[in-house]
Amino acid sequence: MKLPIFIADAFTVTAFRGNPAAVCLLEDILAEDAHQQIAVEMNLSETAFIRKLQPTDSFAQKNTNSTLTFVTMSGELKARKAEDGIVLDFPLYPTFPQAAIGDTKVQDIRYSPDTRKLLVRLSDSYDRSFLETLKVNTEPLPQMEKTGRVRGLILTLKGEPEGQRAPYDFYSRYFAPWVGLSEDPVTGSAHTVLGSYWSQQLGKKELRAFQCSRRGGELDISLRPDGRVDMKGGAAIVLEGTLTA
């Protein structure tokens, strides 16, 4: 069996940056273990399998709609093409105050029960380079937090003023050792929480964000009146080929 497969770097327009994901196009249903084997072979934290809903659907036919709706195991995901990127439609999740103790100066700590993510805002006295070079030992975190309430840790920092580097409203890094992911390059789900938090803190509905992983990635965030959030980013296809399974 030969399957078309791609690797796309999301939230960037530059190859080998942003969030890499494998995308496999399926004409027929695969066994569940085959999905897992392909994902392991690709060695990426995200591997997506796109299957036709109707036999008459065609991967080769050019789509005439500006918006595509994907039916996923987590619910519907809508994506629309913008002039300078792709916009994803996500829920927006609020955060609530949380207490914690640590050596690094912390300005605020919040918890999102909807996503089970802990948001830690570092002191405004730090700059982007501090967040980028901060050494985070994620190995003991699953042992320290066994209740299941936390599935991801967000570190975030207020952006720099206009004129200093690129005008980002905030920076972040994301860690999820509870699900086997030490650090994620760029994380859409984390920004459903970050968008809510920084919109309240900065009094803005339009935000520009940068995730400070080794690969790095940029996101444009727009809070909508209906309580959802649009995330826009670029995409770079870095591999196109055929998988023999």
Contact at 8 Å (CB) between 186 and 217? yes
User: Residue 201 and residue 195: Cα distance in Å, rounded?
Assistant: 10
φ/ψ of 148, rounded to 5, equals 90, -5
Map tokens 């591999």 to a residue.
239
Residues recognised as catalytic: 46
Task: Using DSSP bridges, classify how beta strands 85-91 and 152-158 pair: parallel, antiparallel or unpaired.
Answer: unpaired
